[in-house]
Amino acid sequence: MEMDRYASKRFDIEQEDAIDVAVLEAIPFDYPGSTPEVVYETDEFTAVCPWTGLPDFGLLVIRYQPENSLVELKSLKYYLTSYRSVGILQEHAVNRILDDLVELLQPVSIAVEAEYKERGGIGTRAVARYERV
C-alpha cells in the first residue's frame, strides 16, 4: 500500500531538555506596585509533534502583570526559538513556558496562550494561567 512507506518516516526530535531556559534574562521593572499589563505576541512560534516530528506553528501571546521584573526581549526570542525542534504536545508547551516565566519573573499574574494552525481539520487553542495568591 502507498501509505506504508510513510509508517517509519520520522524527523529528528529533540527532548524537552533542549529548551534553553538558561538564556532567559530578567531586567528590573522600575514601577512596582503599578498595574500595567505587558503583552508579547509572535506568530512565529513553532515546536514539533513528539510522535511524528511534524511542525506545529502557532500564534503565541504572553500577558503578564509584573512585580519587580520584566523579561528581556532578546532572551525571550532565543528561548522561544529553542522550541523549534522540541517534541512537545501543544497543551504542554504553554504550561512549560508559563512555568519557566513564573520562575524567572515571579509576576503578579501571567497567561500564556497559543493558537495553533489547523492540522487535519482541527485547530488547537491552549491557555495556561498563573495568579499569585
Mark whether 4 is an active-site residue: no
Joined together, the cell numbers standing for residue 45 give 512560534
- Among 20, 49, 99, 100, which one carries the catalytic annotation? 49
Q: What's the whole-number average pLDDT of the chain?
A: 93
pLDDT tens sequence across 10-61 = 677 999 999 999 999 999 999 988 989 999 999 999 999 998 888 999 999 9
What single DSSP character describes residue 108?
S
What number is the average pLDDT over the span 72-97?
Answer: 97
Mark whether 17 is an active-site residue: no
pLDDT at 53: 87
d(CA 105, CA 65): 10
pLDDT at 78: 98
d(CA 11, CA 48): 9
d(CA 18, CA 45): 16
Domains and CATH numbers, the chain: 25-131 (3.30.1130.10)
- With contact defined as beta carbons under 8 Å apart, do 119 and 93 qualify? no
- Among 17, 30, 56, 100, which one carries the catalytic annotation? 56
